[in-house]
Amino acid sequence: MKIILFGDSLTARHEGLNEPMINARLKPHFPEDIVLNKGVSGDTTNDAMKRFKKDVLAEQPDVVVIQFGSNDSSAHKHVAREMYKANLEQMVKAIGPERCILVTPPPVDEDKQTQRSNQVLESYGDAVKEVVAEYQTGFADLYKAFMDQGNLTESLRGLEDDGLHYGEAGYRIVEATLVPVITEKKRAITPREVTLLDRIRSWFA
C-alpha cells in the first residue's frame, strides 16, 4: 500500500536524521508499504490546498494521514477555524473518507511559545473531531496523547527547543498514537488499483 503523510513541519522534520523522523518511526511497522512524506514547513491548510492535487491526489494513495493546525491556529499565520475545518473537509471528500486519517494538532510548551496557545489548539482539534464525526474518517488524537504524558517540557523538546518542534520523545508519542490507527485503516480498505482510466485522468489533470 501507499501511505502519504500530509502535513507541516511536524511531519517534515528530520531532527538530526537522514529522513523525516516520523518516517523513521513508522516504517518498521509497515515494511512492505510505501510511506511518502509530503510535509512542508510553515504550511497552513490554505497552503496545503495549493499543493494538494500534486502532492496527494496525483499519487493515488491508499491511506493519507492529514496533520495540520499548528500554523492555522497561530497568531502570525492565522487561518480562521471555520476555514481550517472547510479545508479539511475538501481534502477528505477528494481523497475519500475511507482512506483518510485526521490528526489533531499537538499542544505546545506555552513557556516557550508566544504565537500559539493550547486553548486555541484544542479548539482547532475540536474542529478536526467534527470532521471525523461527520465523514467517519480514521482519527488520531495527538493533542490528547501528548497531554496524557503529563510533562510537555520533556515531550516537546526538540533540536530547536522552541516548545513546538518536538524531538525523539515526541515522535515516540506520535508513533504510539498513529501505528494502531494506520494498522486498523489498512485492514479496512482494499489497496487502490490504478486503472487505465485513472492514468488518463492523471495525464490531463
Q: CA–CA separation, 94 vs 97, rounded Å?
A: 8
Residue 199 has pLDDT above 80, yes or no: no
Tell me the per-residue pLDDT of 34-88, one tens digit each, with 9 for 90 and over: 999 999 999 999 999 999 999 999 999 999 999 999 999 999 999 999 999 999 9
Range of the domain at 166: 2-204
pTM here?
0.92
Residue 202 has pLDDT above 90, yes or no: no
Residue 127 has pLDDT above 90, yes or no: yes
Averaged pLDDT of the chain? 93
Residue 163 burial (CB count, 10 A): 20
In percent, how much of the chain has pLDDT > 70? 92
CATH number at residue 120: 3.40.50.1110
| Alpha carbon 52 to chain centroid, angstroms | 13
142, 67 Cβ separation under 8 angstroms: yes
Q: Considering its fold, how many domains does the chain have in total?
A: 1
Q: CA–CA separation, 127 vs 129, rounded Å?
A: 5
**Polymer length in residues for the chain:** 205
Sign of the dihedral defined by the CA atoms of residues 172, 174, 180, 184, in that order = negative
pLDDT band at 189 (very low <50, low <70, confident <90, very high): confident
**Residue 122 CB partners (closer than 8 Å, separation 6+):** 107, 143
198, 149 Cβ separation under 8 angstroms: no
DSSP labels for 64-75?
Answer: EEEE--TTTTSS
Q: What is the pLDDT of residue 96?
A: 94
Structure-block grid coordinates of residue 140: 488520531
> Phi and psi dihedrals of 139, rounded to 5?
-150, 135
Q: What is the pLDDT of residue 186?
A: 93
Q: State in Å, rounded, how far the first CA of the chain is from the last one.
A: 23
pLDDT band at 150 (very low <50, low <70, confident <90, very high): confident
Residue 194 has pLDDT above 70, yes or no: no
Q: Which helix H or strand E contains 3, and what residues bound it?
A: strand 2-7
What is the residue whose three cell numbers read 479548539? 123
